[in-house]
């Protein structure tokens, strides 16, 4: 690795060679004492006003020795460091920190005046809360760490950064509470991060692939959240959090499936209410996955499952339908998925029109034209709503719903039972960072059931979850 | 996931093991012992509880089944004995798998489905057998509440429909009925033997043997209650109700308005059964792995092979189920007491202390 030399022009040239892009600019100036200076900076990422004030103005009357230590003292920036390696200097320029070079220098100075456009902190659209904090993470890593620091004012909060991505050099912060995390977990995570060999990390979701023990699995194995209050609560339980620069979605490990049935609001309402809503979410998800499948299986293989009056109603509505029950249900499901996909991507004002077209025109006319039956639309609509009761699992459950539907159409109710057995077996054998995905149900951990699908009051949650094996067990005196 | 906890083992004995007795056995006992069907059943539970106690005592030695035998008889003899035991497990698995097949074909379909309808079970069996045996522990954690809810639900929906005087007078079928019932039920009672391949996969804790026997008896009590309700509902025609647990709750008054809501519980129990029926097959494979090693791709190959064999058997024996049932419960029934009662006791006589095996 080449270092800076005392020759300013040669060093500048070497740096420009490493950074040939047009938006990497240089600014040369001479102090009153006659010393030549040069700043190298990335135009779109550097606060030029601050650079002028903290560097150029400060050094205008410099007449001391050409020693980096002395020059740095003269600067009015609180964030400076000296660096000799040209490659490191180039990296600093690329993240927005200008580099100050000067004649006969022994080292260059890096000044922290980067300016990255950030959006305002807002409530995340995927995790809306009626009660409780409404702040959400944004894309800027520093803002996100400040949101965490504000909630955890303790020296035990460690934020260790690593760079991931050969070209993007994305900053990933490993956050944890020292003494609260299971021994070896942080090292395991850092080891996995260190092994990632990819050119660009555009979003935190890329990391989930590398952190998962079964990377090609449909099952989610890394927790996600957009809210700093949830993130901090998870750190306090003994988890490790990962913030990725450029992504508003933070990751948490180890992940338990039950986490996605919990919402931050559950902790701000009475426990009986929280238990009720968690059970409701579970019920909604089960209905969303199984209802279309059982409807099809019952129609095709076991009409006895319907009460007589309901059977007569269904028989009346499916009489003139030209498709088989499974094909009919698949068609309606496909339409729902297309409408869903289109409405998410479309501008809001078109979205309203799309809802009208989807719900009224398509639904109503398809029924009156005899393409699909009313019960099929009701069932898919109910299933569609149920899926959104647990928004973090939509990707997984929508695929599962489709799989169950296909199995039900071909093998019937026993096929659904077998598919469920498959899923259960797969889930119980999935572990990540030594933590079973289905804990505290399988393996059953009685203590942790207090905050699972049921929720005890705060006084009963005096110790951290046993599943996470935190060395610091007590959290409430 | 490498170890089964004592809790999981107790869940298995109390909640999972009983489900295998809910399908054909009650009707079979009604045929052989009429209103005295509870007595042979109770005797089997007592005998098996004793066998469970013996096997759990063996866990104190901290050795797996193969090590236990090799420790006393040497490696070659141990390999032969383990292979024989595996063959027994594969034999014991045949009746339940065929039982499940006709149960599925009759209960889950309005009309008799094609053979292919049951075929996916063998895919599941292959997947299950390829997994480590110790992963069953976590499965039992999930199956235990399902089993409790399933059986309790069916009992609640059906107990009101029974005429319990059908169980009287006690002893009407005489010793002959009791003897025939006891002998024919042997084919369903191999629960204690299923613990043998699990040796070395769970730690012995103080009192586990007693706890295991009591947990098994608790599960047995639930089955006795169920069989009593079943016979109280059907009386002398109970013999015709082949799939007992699907038949008892259909007279619940809410069925006419709500439909067969009891199917929720039947489905829960069918899910538990899917795992239960596969256990002997997986254990047979695991015993062979204990004796002959477990190279990387072998479990998958064995899993696929065994599943194929059972699939072929289920197809070829499709219309011979009655013959198979007769053969297993009458002709060669002696195999079951030998392996299920004698083997656990004899294993207690093996060398206690560990010795160096060359």
Per-domain residue ranges of chain B: 13-349
Residues 6 or more apart in contact with residue A65 via CB below 8 angstroms? none
- Cβ within 8 Å, pair A429-B104: no
**Which residue in chain B has the smallest CA separation from A309?**
B257
Q: Give the whole-angstrom CA distance, residue A450 versus residue A454.
A: 6
Q: Chain A interface, mutation test: which of B5, B14, B110, most A Cβ atoms within 10 Å?
A: B110
- Cβ within 8 Å, pair A425-B139: yes
Task: Name the residue among B109, B124, B257 with its Cβ closest to that of A302.
Answer: B109
Q: Alpha helix locations (H) across chain B?
A: 6-11, 25-33, 38-58, 65-73, 75-107, 120-130, 136-158, 174-185, 208-234, 244-247, 255-258, 262-276, 279-292, 298-316, 321-326, 335-337, 343-347
Burial class from Cβ neighbours inside 10 Å (0-12, 13-18, 19+) for residue B95 reads buried
Q: Looking at the predicted structure, is the pLDDT value of residue B85 above 90?
A: yes
- Cβ within 8 Å, pair A420-B270: no
Q: Which residues of B touch A (CB under 8 A)?
A: 1, 5, 7-8, 104, 108-110, 113, 117-118, 120-121, 124, 127-128, 131, 135, 137-139, 141-142, 256-260, 263, 267, 270-271, 274-275
Which residues in B lie closer than 8 A to residue A301 (C-beta atoms)? 108-110, 113
**Which residue in chain A has the smallest CA separation from B145?**
A441
Q: Give the whole-angstrom CA distance, residue B10 versus residue B140.
A: 9
In the predicted model, what is the mean pLDDT of residues B94-117?
86
Pick A139 or B171 by higher pLDDT: A139
- Cβ within 8 Å, pair A444-B141: yes
- Cβ within 8 Å, pair A305-B263: yes
Q: Chain B interface, mutation test: which of A444, A448, A454, A467, most B Cβ atoms within 10 Å?
A: A444
CA B29, chain centre distance (Å): 16
Q: Whose CA is closest to A173, among A188, A189, A184, A185?
A: A189
What is the share, in percent, of chain B residues with pLDDT greater than 70?
Answer: 99
Distance from CA of A209 to the nearest CA of B (A): 23
Q: Give the whole-angstrom CA distance, residue B198 versus residue B200.
A: 6
Q: Which residue has the tokens 């999972």?
A: B16
Burial class from Cβ neighbours inside 10 Å (0-12, 13-18, 19+) for residue B257 reads exposed
In the predicted model, what is the mean pLDDT of residues A94-101?
89
Q: What is the pLDDT of residues A47-86, one digit of tens each?
A: 888 889 888 988 888 887 778 888 888 888 888 888 889 9
Q: Which residue has the tokens 């990296």?
A: A91
- The band of A475, judged by pLDDT with boundaries at 50, 70 and 90, is confident
Q: Alpha helix locations (H) across A324-373?
A: 325-345, 348-356, 365-368
Q: Looking at the predicted structure, is the pLDDT value of residue A359 above 80?
A: no
- Cβ within 8 Å, pair B138-A310: no
Q: Which residue has the tokens 């006659």?
A: A34
- Cβ within 8 Å, pair B108-A414: yes
Distance from CA of B143 to the nearest CA of A (A): 10
Half-sphere exposure of A185 (CA within 13 A, CB side): 28
Per DSSP, the three-state class of A291 is helix
In the predicted model, what is the mean pLDDT of residues A286-311?
91
- The band of B135, judged by pLDDT with boundaries at 50, 70 and 90, is confident
- Is the Cβ–Cβ distance between A331 and A323 less than 8 Å? yes
- The band of A112, judged by pLDDT with boundaries at 50, 70 and 90, is confident
- Cβ within 8 Å, pair A424-B142: yes
Instruction: Please report how the helices A348-356 and A325-345 are oriented relative to each other, as an axis angle in degrees rounded to 10.
Output: 160
Q: What is the pLDDT of residues B239-298, one digit of tens each?
A: 998 898 998 988 888 887 788 889 999 999 999 999 999 999 999 999 998 888 877 778
What is the share, in percent, of chain B residues with pLDDT greater than 90?
Answer: 61
- The length of chain A is 477
- Cβ within 8 Å, pair A302-B113: no
- Strand partners for A224: A251
The per-residue pLDDT for B1 is 66
The per-residue pLDDT for B358 is 55
Reported ipTM: 0.93
Q: Which residue has the tokens 């005429």?
A: B163
Instruction: Please report how the helices B120-130 and B279-292 are oriented relative to each other, as an axis angle in degrees rounded to 10.
Output: 40
Residues 6 or more apart in contact with residue A432 via CB below 8 angstroms? A211, A212, A213, A221, A222, A253, A254, A255
The per-residue pLDDT for B356 is 67
Q: Which residues of A touch B (CB under 8 A)?
A: 301-310, 407, 411-415, 417-418, 420-422, 424-425, 428-429, 431, 436, 438, 441-444
Q: Residue A381 is inside which H or E element, if any? A: helix A374-387
Q: Residue A309 is inside which H or E element, if any? A: helix A308-318
- The band of A263, judged by pLDDT with boundaries at 50, 70 and 90, is confident
Distance from CA of B154 to the nearest CA of A (A): 16
Which residues in A lie closer than 8 A to residue B258 (C-beta atoms)? 307
- Is the Cβ–Cβ distance between A37 and A31 less than 8 Å? yes
CA distances from A153 to A157, A182, A225, A240, B346 (A): 8, 21, 21, 17, 65
Distance from CA of A241 to the nearest CA of B (A): 25
Distance from CA of A257 to the nearest CA of B (A): 14
Pick A369 or A240 by higher pLDDT: A240
Q: Give the whole-angstrom CA distance, residue A128 versus residue A151.
A: 19
- The band of A287, judged by pLDDT with boundaries at 50, 70 and 90, is very high
In the predicted model, what is the mean pLDDT of residues B227-233?
95
Task: Name the residue among A304, A309, A429 with its Cβ closest to that of B260.
Answer: A304
**How does the average pLDDT of chain A come out, rounded?**
89
In the predicted model, what is the mean pLDDT of residues B64-86?
92
Q: What is the dihedral of CA B273, B275, B280, B286, to 10 degrees?
A: 180
What is the share, in percent, of chain A residues with pLDDT greater than 90?
Answer: 49
The CATH label, of 3.40.50.10490, 1.10.10.10, 3.40.50.300, 1.20.1740.10, for the domain at B13-349 is: 1.20.1740.10
Q: What is the pLDDT of residues A200-238, one digit of tens each?
A: 999 999 999 999 988 888 889 999 999 999 999 999 999
Distance from CA of A292 to the nearest CA of B (A): 16
- Strand partners for B4: B202
The per-residue pLDDT for B229 is 95
- Is the Cβ–Cβ distance between A84 and A108 less than 8 Å? yes
- Is the Cβ–Cβ distance between A173 and A161 less than 8 Å? yes
Helix, strand, coil share of chain A (percent; to 5): 50, 15, 35
Which residues in B lie closer than 8 A to residue A411 (C-beta atoms)? 117, 120
Q: What is the pLDDT of residues A365-420, one digit of tens each?
A: 888 888 889 999 999 999 999 998 998 899 899 999 999 999 999 999 999 999 99
**Which residue in chain B has the smallest CA separation from A423?**
B124
The per-residue pLDDT for A1 is 63
- Cβ within 8 Å, pair A421-B120: no
Angle, CA of A349, A351 and A356, to the nearest 5°: 110
- Cβ within 8 Å, pair B142-A307: no
- Cβ within 8 Å, pair B138-A421: no
């Amino acid at each position: 690795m080449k270092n800076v030399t005392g020759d300013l022009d040669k060093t500048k040239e070497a740096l420009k060679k490493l950074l040939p892009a047009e938006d990497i600019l240089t600014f040369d100036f001479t102090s009153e004492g006659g010393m030549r200076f040069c700043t190298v900076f990335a135009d779109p990422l550097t606060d030029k006003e601050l650079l002028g004030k903290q560097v150029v103005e400060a050094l205008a009357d410099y007449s001391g020795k050409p020693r980096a230590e002395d020059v740095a003292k003269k600067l009015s920036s609180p964030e400076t460091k000296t660096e000799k390696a040209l490659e490191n200097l180039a990296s600093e320029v690329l993240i927005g920190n200008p580099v100050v070079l000067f004649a006969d220098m022994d080292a260059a100075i890096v000044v922290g005046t980067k300016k990255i456009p950030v959006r305002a902190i807002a409530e995340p659209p995927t995790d809306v809360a009626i009660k409780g904090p409404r702040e959400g993470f944004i894309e800027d890593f520093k803002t996100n760490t400040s949101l965490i620091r504000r909630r955890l004012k303790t020296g035990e909060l460690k934020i260790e950064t690593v760079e991931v991505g050969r070209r993007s050099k994305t900053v990933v912060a490993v956050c944890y509470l020292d003494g609260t995390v299971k021994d070896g977990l942080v090292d395991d995570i850092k080891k996995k991060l260190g092994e990632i060999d990819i050119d660009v990390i555009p979003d935190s979701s890329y990391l989930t692939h590398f952190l998962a023990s079964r990377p090609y699995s449909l099952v989610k194995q890394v927790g996600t959240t957009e809210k700093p209050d949830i993130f901090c609560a998870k750190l306090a339980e003994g988890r490790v959090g990962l913030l990725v620069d450029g992504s508003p979605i933070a990751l948490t490990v180890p992940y338990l499936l039950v986490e996605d049935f919990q919402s931050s609001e559950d902790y701000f309402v009475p426990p009986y209410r929280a238990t009720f809503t968690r059970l409701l979410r579970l019920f909604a998800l089960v209905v969303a996955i199984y209802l279309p499948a059982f409807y099809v299986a019952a129609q095709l293989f076991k009409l006895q499952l319907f009460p007589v009056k309901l059977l007569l109603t269904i028989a009346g509505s499916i009489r003139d339908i030209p498709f088989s029950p499974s094909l009919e249900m698949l068609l309606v499901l496909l339409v729902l998925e297309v409408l869903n996909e289109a409405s998410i991507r479309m501008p809001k004002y078109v979205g309203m029109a799309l809802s009208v077209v989807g719900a009224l025109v398509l639904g109503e006319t398809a029924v009156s034209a005899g393409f699909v039956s009313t019960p099929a639309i009701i069932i898919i609509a109910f299933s569609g709503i149920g899926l959104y009761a647990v928004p973090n699992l939509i990707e997984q459950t929508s695929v599962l719903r489709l799989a169950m539907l296909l199995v039900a159409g071909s093998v019937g109710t026993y096929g659904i039972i077998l598919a469920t057995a498959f899923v259960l077996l797969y889930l119980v054998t999935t572990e990540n960072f030594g933590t079973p995905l289905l804990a505290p149900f399988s393996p059953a951990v009685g203590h942790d059931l207090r905050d699972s699908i049921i929720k005890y009051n705060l006084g009963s949650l005096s110790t951290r979850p046993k599943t996470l094996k935190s060395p610091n067990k007590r959290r409430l005196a | 996931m490498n170890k089964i906890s004592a809790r999981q083992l107790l869940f298995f004995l109390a909640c999972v093991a009983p489900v295998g007795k809910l399908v054909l056995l009650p009707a079979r006992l009604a045929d052989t012992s009429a209103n005295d069907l509870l007595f042979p059943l109770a005797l089997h539970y007592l005998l098996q509880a004793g066998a469970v106690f013996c096997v759990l005592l063996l866990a104190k030695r901290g050795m797996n089944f193969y090590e236990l035998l090799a420790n006393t008889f040497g490696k070659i003899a141990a390999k032969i004995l383990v292979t024989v035991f595996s063959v027994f497990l594969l034999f014991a698995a045949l009746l339940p798998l065929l039982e499940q097949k006709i149960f599925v074909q009759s209960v889950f379909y309005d009309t008799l489905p094609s053979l292919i309808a049951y075929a996916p079970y063998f895919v599941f069996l292959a997947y299950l057998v390829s997994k480590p045996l110790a992963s069953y522990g976590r499965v039992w954690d999930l199956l235990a509440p399902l089993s409790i809810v399933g059986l309790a639900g069916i009992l609640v929906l059906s107990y009101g429909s029974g005429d319990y005087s059908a169980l009287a007078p006690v002893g009407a079928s005489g010793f002959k009925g009791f003897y025939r019932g006891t002998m024919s039920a042997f084919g369903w009672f191999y629960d204690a033997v299923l613990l043998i391949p699990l040796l070395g996969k769970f730690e012995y804790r103080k009192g586990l043997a007693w706890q295991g026997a009591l947990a098994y008896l608790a599960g047995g009590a639930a089955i006795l209650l169920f069989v009593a309700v079943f016979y109280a509902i059907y009386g002398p025609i109970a013999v015709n109700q082949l799939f007992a647990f699907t038949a008892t709750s259909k007279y619940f008054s809410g069925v006419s308005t709500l439909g067969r809501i009891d199917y929720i519980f039947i489905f829960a129990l069918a899910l538990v059964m899917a795992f239960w029926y596969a256990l002997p097959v997986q254990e047979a494979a695991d015993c062979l792995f204990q004796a002959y090693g477990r190279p990387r791709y072998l479990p998958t190959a064995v899993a696929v092979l065994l599943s194929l064999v059972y699939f072929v058997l289920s197809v070829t024996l499709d219309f011979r189920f009655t013959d198979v049932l007769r053969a297993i419960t009458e002709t060669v029934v002696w195999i079951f007491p030998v392996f299920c009662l004698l083997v656990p006791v004899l294993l207690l006589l093996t060398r206690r202390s560990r010795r160096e095996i060359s």
